[in-house]
Structure 1
Amino acid sequence: MNTISTILGEISTVCANINDKEYNHLVEIFQSNNRFFFSGEGRSGLIAKAIAMRLMHSGKTVFVIGETTTPAIEKSDVLIVVSGSGKTPNTLNILESASKVEALIFLITTNRDVLELYSGLLVHAATKYRLPGEPDTIQPLGNQFDQAAHLVLDAAIIDSFNNGQSNDTMKSKHSNLE
């Protein structure tokens, strides 16, 4: 139980340092009626998929980059990218492609330099690189970033519910082919 308490403390500290303005911008984006596209590589990609599913449950039109049924992104669409490093080659290609069609881009990352190029939210968490200035963690690899990104994105979806979403409403959109 000591490990769980330590991890909860780490995540609490990371989430407490999220910038309110960046977070509120994400909430506003989730309130829009645009189509949403999600991307991420590795475990960040799994977080992106989990959040895409949650947003779909709230009634939004959602796609995951790389799936065979994902259409072309357009100017009126939103691209949400989860990337701890913010510099994965495939992620950079996707960001560039979305920029070319002038889609709205929102990046969740630990990389302050990439956020100078794109709108987004800085998560001050440890990554697998253990760069100077990253917070300490007992967790391996990018666990701290992945956990914080998931919590922040899920909370932003909940905060975006200006239409009285309920568990029953969201459950009605949950898969019934299980």
Structure 2
Amino acid sequence: MNTVSMILMEMTDVCTNIKKDEYDKLVDLFKQKKRFFFSGEGRSGLIAKAIAMRLMHSGQTVYVIGETTTPAIEKSDVLLVISGSGKTASTLNILESASKVGTHIFLVTTNAEVLDTYEGLLIPAATKHRLEGEPKTIQPLGNQFDQAAHLLLDAAIIDSLDNQLLNEEMKKKHSNLE
């Protein structure tokens, strides 16, 4: 079996083993007219930026933590954090700061313990730590988690649109300075 086929099988296993109620909460969150702030470190941060961009294309107001034009977060905003471990020092700092403000926090992670504190989506994927109970993978480091997060968050945005926005409408919000 080739590498791409193996990765696709892994993604199918991981993405079909999430909890429907957690996924539905994410879809409902994306339907709300709020300001969305995204955060993540490393590759998870790149996924956060990709999802932030797509959510902006859907008509939402979106910011990425750490960018110079990102305003102060407020209680009425949503913070979406992508972190495989849920324990990255900068992630914990951001979660604590947003908690003090009273911001709605949604965490995408493999760490069920963190979801005892925060609302979120548990992705049953392998991380770079290869902890007991994580699925097997042929992929290095946190690839499996990051790919699953990208697929699931993109799908949640699509499901949040209820076919209200067609491709042509989303293209209007796509960068035209390329």
Matches within 5 A, 1:45-60: 45-60=45-60
1 CA distance for matches of 2:156 and 2:133? 26
**Maintained 8 Å contact 1:31/1:162:** no
Could you tell me which runs of 5 or more consecutive residues in structure 2 were left unpaired when the two chains were aligned: none
2 CA distance for matches of 1:119 and 1:63? 20
Matched with 2:12 is 12
Q: Deviations over 1:50-77 (max 9, x none)?
A: 0000000001000000000000000000
TM normalised by structure 2 equals 0.99
Matches within 5 A, 1:144-155: 144-155=144-155
Matched with 1:44 is 44
Q: Deviations over 1:12-57 (max 9, x none)?
A: 0000001000000000000000000000000000000000000000
Deviates more, 1:76-85 or 1:1-10: 1-10
**SS of 2:75's equivalent?**
coil
4+ long deviations beyond 6 Å: none
1:34 aligned onto 2:34: yes
RMSD of aligned Cα (Å): 0.8
1 CA distance for matches of 2:164 and 2:63? 23
TM normalised by structure 1 equals 0.99
Matches within 5 A, 1:24-173: 24-162=24-162, 164-173=164-173
**SS of 1:84's equivalent?**
coil
% identical aligned pairs: 74
- The amino acid of 1:36's aligned partner reads F
1:164 is displaced (CA, Å) by 1.1
2 CA distance for matches of 1:19 and 1:51? 20
2 CA distance for matches of 1:50 and 1:163? 21
- The amino acid of 2:153's aligned partner reads L
**SS of 2:161's equivalent?**
coil
Q: Deviations over 1:114-146 (max 9, x none)?
A: 110100000000000000000000000000000
1 CA distance for matches of 2:122 and 2:78? 18
